[in-house]
């Protein structure tokens, strides 16, 4: 309190503003008139236990009583708050009246014109849509808990009223398109609005950091449901094929998100790349299977083995890197890679042979495949396992390439001759003649040039390796 006189003068002014005499004021406080008189003349202060009662009688705050002055800022805030409350109340009442008059007028007009209610329900659904955008926010603001979820309530009520409007229009026109239209609308609205609503929705603690996964899952389910309704509406049988295709396509960017956000076991947390490739490979195989069944074919096994062989070129290294291999195999991943891919190649050739009804796997296909594999296998073994320096290994690699380039056509020719019968077998010796060019002679000359180049490079690499070794010894 600043001083007794200021305090007493303020009480006297507020008492007169309230239209009370000293006696009436004293009776409300259960004190004597003389006590009130002493307060107003600045001769004493009231007991501290009477402060709350005095504030209630004089309609002032404790701050105003203790300072002996009006809190104009607080009163302005309260005044503005009361004006806002009156404005919002009048806004709600105006909407009640407008929407009520629209419904009453349309209902009365419908009954007078058709003697029943039919198109009135279309108007009712339209009014509900309008009210969801104008009235629902005002109603949600009345409750503190609902105010935090105002956007969700608005869009939820708008979507429900829009679905109701579609249903009523479908029934009114005698159509059967409601499910197709309703799910399409629901998918479109959630696709645009759900990312803004999820941060404001009350989710369990375990899902608060997984909103992206929830959004992608919901949209995927709705899209598949849309495909199903479209298939049923058109009388088709393509839903399974379309659904697997969509899941496979969406998996390229959705599976990484799910693997990053979903709670995985500790043994799999460090193998997300492996899981991603495995899931996408299984989805691709499932897509091939559904395509084969849908087309009535019998080519699934051939396609599956071929796809696995093709994917193995870049997936097997990822698997070998992340799988827990025994200690004896950890330093031989390259050898394992070649072995796996070679087995897959043999499996692919065998399945194709069986599918086309041929019987040439052991007599022709397998030997030719082995002949082709000798080049990469020889290079891998030379580069990876020869206990020599890099230049010597390069020399051996070029020599092996030259040897394979020289002998492989002759070997392949002998294999095909045994199966298809005698023909014009190639000679192991290359009849090159650099003075003559034209026809088959050009091919022989080019092969000879390549062989001489490979051998020459091998010799150069060997000489460099020998020179470096000799230099180190010195």
How far is residue 310 from each of residues 253, 275, 301, 348, measured CA to CA in Å? 21, 18, 14, 10
What pLDDT score was predicted for residue 438?
Answer: 76
Mean pLDDT of 358-371: 87
Q: Are 461 and 391 in contact (CB under 8 A)?
A: yes
* CA atoms of 319 and 274, how far apart (whole Å): 6
Listed in sequence order, the residues at least 6 apart from 169 whose beta carbon sits closer than 8 Å to its beta carbon are 122
Closest by Cα among 34, 78, 26, 71 to 53: 26
Q: How confident is the model at residue 347 (pLDDT cuts 50, 70, 90)?
A: very high
Assess contact for 274 and 323: CB atoms under 8 A. Answer: yes
What is the token pair recorded at 58? 């004089």
For the entire predicted model, the pTM comes to 0.71
Q: pLDDT tens, 72-86?
A: 566 666 676 677 778
| pLDDT value for 305 | 94
**Locus of tokens 């796997």:** 361
Residue 99: pLDDT over 70: yes
- Rounded distance, CA 162 to CA 178, Å? 11
Q: What is the pLDDT of residue 76?
A: 67
pLDDT of residue 329: 85
pLDDT band at 323 (very low <50, low <70, confident <90, very high): confident
**Treating both helix axes as pointing N-terminal to C-terminal, what angle do 150-173 and 178-197 enclose, rounded to 10 degrees?**
170
* Whole-number pLDDT of residue 393: 93
| Torsion angles phi and psi, residue 123, rounded to 5 | -65, -40
Q: What are phi and psi of 126, to 5 degrees?
A: -65, -40
* 325: pLDDT strictly greater than 90: no
In Å, what is the CA distance from 280 to each residue of 239, 249, 469?
20, 9, 50
Q: Residue 1: its pLDDT value, please? A: 43
165 close to 121: Cβ distance less than 8 angstroms: no
Residue owning tokens 């708008």: 158
Distance CA 27, CA 366 (A): 116
Q: Which pLDDT score, from 0 to 100, does residue 141 have?
A: 82
Q: Tell me: the pLDDT tens digits for 195-205?
A: 988 888 877 87
Give the model's pLDDT for residue 19: 82
Higher pLDDT, 419 or 201: 201
Least confident of 271-280, 367-376, 378-387: 271-280
Q: Which two tokens stand for residue 227?
A: 């495909």
Q: In this predicted model, which residue has the larger pLDDT, 22 or 279? A: 279
pLDDT in tens, 114-168: 888 889 999 999 999 999 999 998 888 888 778 888 888 999 999 999 999 999 9
pLDDT of residue 322: 80
User: Residue 228: pLDDT band by 50, 70, 90 thresholds?
Assistant: very high
The conformation of residue 194, written as its DSSP 8-state character, comes to H
The two tokens of residue 424 are 């014009």
Nearest to 8 by CA among 53, 43, 33: 43
Average pLDDT of span 328-341:
90
423 has pLDDT over 60:
no
Q: How confident is the model over 452-471, as a mean pLDDT?
A: 89
User: Residue 188: pLDDT above 70?
Assistant: yes
**Across residues 325-353, what is the average pLDDT?**
91
**Could you tell me which residue, 466 or 185, shows the higher pLDDT?**
185
Least reliable range by pLDDT among 219-228, 349-358, 420-429: 420-429
pLDDT value for 177: 92
Residue 59, exposed/middle/buried by CB under 10 A (0-12, 13-18, 19+)?
exposed
- Residues of the chain with pLDDT > 70, as a percent, come to 92
Q: What is the pLDDT of residue 284?
A: 94
Residue 425 — very low, low, confident or very high, per pLDDT cuts 50/70/90? low
Quickly tell me which residue has 């195999």 as its tokens.
Answer: 329
Q: At residue 101, does pLDDT exceed 80?
A: yes
Joined tokens for residue 212: 């992206």
State residue 143's pLDDT score.
82
- Whole-angstrom distance, CA of residue 290 vs CA of residue 296: 10
**CA dihedral for 393, 399, 405, 409, sign (positive or negative):** negative
Q: What is the mean pLDDT of the chain?
A: 86
Q: Which fold has domain 4-70?
A: 434 Repressor (Amino-terminal Domain) (1.10.260)
- Using the Cα atoms of residue 203, residue 206, residue 207 and residue 210 in order, give the sign of their dihedral: positive
pLDDT in tens, 35-51: 878 887 878 878 777 87
349: which residues sit within 8 A by CB, 6+ positions away? Answer: 361, 365, 366, 369
What is the location of CATH 1.10.260.40 in the chain? 4-70
């Amino acid at each position: 309190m600043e001083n007794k006189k200021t305090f007493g003068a303020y009480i006297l002014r507020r008492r007169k503003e309230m239209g009370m005499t000293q006696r009436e004021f004293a009776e409300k406080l259960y004190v004597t008139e003389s006590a009130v008189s002493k307060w107003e003349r600045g001769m004493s202060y009231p007991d501290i236990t009477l402060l709350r009662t005095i504030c209630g009688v004089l309609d002032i705050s404790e701050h105003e009583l203790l300072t002996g002055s009006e809190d104009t800022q607080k009163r302005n805030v309260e005044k503005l708050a009361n004006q806002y409350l009156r404005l919002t109340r009048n806004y709600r009442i105006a909407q009640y009246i407008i929407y009520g008059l629209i419904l009453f007028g349309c209902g009365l007009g419908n009954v007078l014109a058709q003697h029943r209610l039919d198109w009135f329900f279309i108007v009712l659904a339209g009014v509900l849509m309008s009210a969801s955008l104008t009235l629902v926010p005002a109603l949600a603001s009345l409750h503190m808990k609902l105010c935090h979820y105002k956007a969700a309530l608005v869009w939820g009520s708008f979507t429900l009223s829009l679905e109701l409007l579609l249903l009523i229009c479908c029934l009114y026109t005698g159509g059967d398109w409601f499910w197709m239209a309703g799910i399409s609308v629901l998918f479109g609205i959630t696709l645009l609005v759900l990312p803004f609503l999820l941060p404001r929705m009350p989710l369990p603690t375990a899902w608060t950091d997984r909103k992206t996964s929830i959004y992608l899952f919901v949209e995927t389910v709705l899209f598949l449901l849309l495909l199903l309704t479209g298939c049923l509406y058109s009388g088709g049988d393509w839903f399974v094929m379309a659904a697997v295709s969509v899941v496979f396509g969406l998996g390229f960017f959705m599976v990484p998100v799910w693997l990053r956000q979903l709670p995985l076991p500790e043994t799999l947390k460090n193998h997300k790349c492996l899981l991603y490739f495995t899931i996408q490979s299984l989805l691709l195989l499932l897509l091939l299977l559904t395509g084969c069944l849908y087309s009535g074919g019998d080519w699934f096994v051939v396609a599956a083995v071929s796809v696995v062989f093709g994917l193995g070129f870049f997936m097997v290294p990822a698997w070998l890197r992340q799988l827990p291999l025994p200690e004896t195999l950890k330093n031989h991943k390259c050898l394992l890679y070649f072995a796996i891919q070679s087995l897959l190649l043999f499996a692919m050739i065998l399945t194709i042979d069986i599918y086309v009804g041929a019987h040439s796997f052991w007599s022709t296909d397998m030997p030719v495949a082995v002949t082709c594999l000798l080049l990469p296998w020889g290079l891998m073994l030379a580069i990876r396992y020869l206990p020599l320096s890099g230049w010597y290994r390069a020399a051996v690699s070029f020599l092996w390439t030259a040897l394979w380039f020289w002998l492989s056509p002759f070997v392949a020719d002998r294999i095909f001759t045994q199966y298809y019968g005698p023909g014009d077998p190639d000679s192991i010796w290359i009849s090159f003649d650099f003075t003559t060019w034209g026809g088959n002679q050009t091919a022989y000359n080019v092969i000879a040039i390549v062989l001489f180049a490979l051998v020459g490079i091998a010799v150069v690499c060997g000489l460099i390796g020998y020179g470096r070794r000799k230099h180190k010894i010195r």
